[in-house]
Amino acid sequence: MPSDTQAGKPEKILILGGTREAADLARELVAKGLDVTTSLAGRTKEPAPLDGKVRIGGFGGAEGLAAYLDAEGFTRVIDATHPFARTISANAVKACAIASLPLDIRTRAPWERQPGDNWIEVSSLEDAAAALPQNARVLLALGRQYLDAFLPRTDCHFVIRMVDPPETPFAFAHHTVLTAKPALNPDEEAALFRAHAITHIVCRNSGGDGAYAKIITARMMGLPVVMVGR
């Protein structure tokens, strides 16, 4: 079956975004003169500016996404979401099948353990919480929707870094909230770790360069990283 572009329609691309890679891709495709829309989930209140058009919010499942693709006349979908954004990725597969559109998946490769890394590899957030020793001072490098698994650990102090301040106070027994994006410079991360006496880092193996500085810093400082795998 010929593609839409082969049938004579100009290419119109929907990028499922929210990552640095998605932003870079939108910039590249817009520079080529293509009609590009990036879809964001809307978890960040003030997302960074993006090239092309931007859509914010959910679609109402795979069927809703398929209807949107058809109504807007898209010819291709690129999934450049976070590797742990499983729901939208699964919906994209179903929606593109319904709409008979090609789906290009651009999933980041996971980080790989390097010499000097002290990783405690786990398969769930609950296992990550259980892996922490008593009285640990922990950098939680996770989205706000992934924090509840650590609430029972009343013996630990959690340093929670997030882009937007929480709308309601967290129920942790001991915690500090840092409203900031991850630093790109390992030296900046090291200064933060020392300032808060961090003993452990908890993160998901999201891959990519944007949040890798903390992994480099943990390696430099000999700190354990509780790594939640995919």
Say what percent of the chain tops pLDDT 70. 95
Cβ(187)–Cβ(81) below 8 Å: no
Segment 13-35 shows an average pLDDT of: 92
| Token pair belonging to 108 | 């980041």
148 is a domain residue: yes
Query: CATH number, domain at 220?
Result: 3.40.50.720
DSSP state letter for 75? -
- For residues 94 and 65, give the distance between their C-alpha atoms in angstroms, rounded to a whole number: 9
Range with the largest mean pLDDT of 12-21, 155-164, 193-202: 193-202
Q: Are 140 and 200 in contact (CB under 8 A)?
A: no
Residue 4 lies in a domain: no
Please check whether residues 101 and 126 belong to one and the same domain: no
Looking at the structure, tell me whether residues 125 and 53 fall in a common domain. Answer: no
Give the 3-state secondary structure of residue 29.
Answer: helix
Chain segment 88-121, per-residue pLDDT in tens: 999 999 999 999 999 999 988 899 999 999 999 9
Q: How many domains does the chain have?
A: 2
- What is the C-alpha separation between 171 and 144, in angstroms, rounded? 12
| Residue 156 and residue 194 in one domain | yes
* Average pLDDT of the chain to the nearest whole number: 91
**Tokens 């293509």 correspond to what residue?**
34
- The CATH number for 19's domain is 3.40.50.20
The reply to whether 22 and 48 lie within a common domain is yes
- Residue 114 inside a domain? The answer is no
* HEC assignment per residue over 122-177: ECCHHHHHHHCCCCCEEEEECCHHHCHHHCCCCCCEEEEEECCCCCCCCCCCCEEE
Asked whether residue 150 falls in the same domain as residue 87, the answer is no
Same domain, 19 and 99: yes
- Considering the domain architecture, whether residues 133 and 93 belong to the same structural domain is answered as no
Amino acid at 40: L
pLDDT tens for residues 61-87? 999 999 999 999 999 999 998 888 888
226 Cβ contact list (under 8 Å, min separation 6): 119, 120, 122, 128, 131, 132, 200, 201, 202, 203
3-14 pLDDT, tens digit per residue, is 444 455 679 999
Asked if residue 3 belongs to a domain, the reply is no
Same domain, 135 and 222: yes
**Pick from 194, 202, 190: nearest CA to 133:** 202
Q: Could you tell me if residue 6 is inside a domain?
A: no
Return the ∠ at Cα 23 (arms to 22 and 25), rounded to 5°.
65
Q: Pull the structure tokens for residue 157.
A: 């102090």
CB of 214 closer than 8 Å to CB of 191: no
Statement: residue 2 has pLDDT above 60: no
What's the angle, vertex CA 205, arms to CA 201 and CA 209, rounded to 5?
90
Is residue 69 in some structural domain?
yes
Co-location of 58 and 100 in the same domain: yes
Tell me the two tokens of residue 143: 């989205």
- What is the mean pLDDT of the segment spanning 209-229? 94
Does residue 175 fall inside a structural domain?
yes
Q: Which domain holds residue 43?
A: 12-105
Q: Which positions ≥6 away from 193 have C-beta within 8 Å?
A: 139, 217, 218, 221, 223
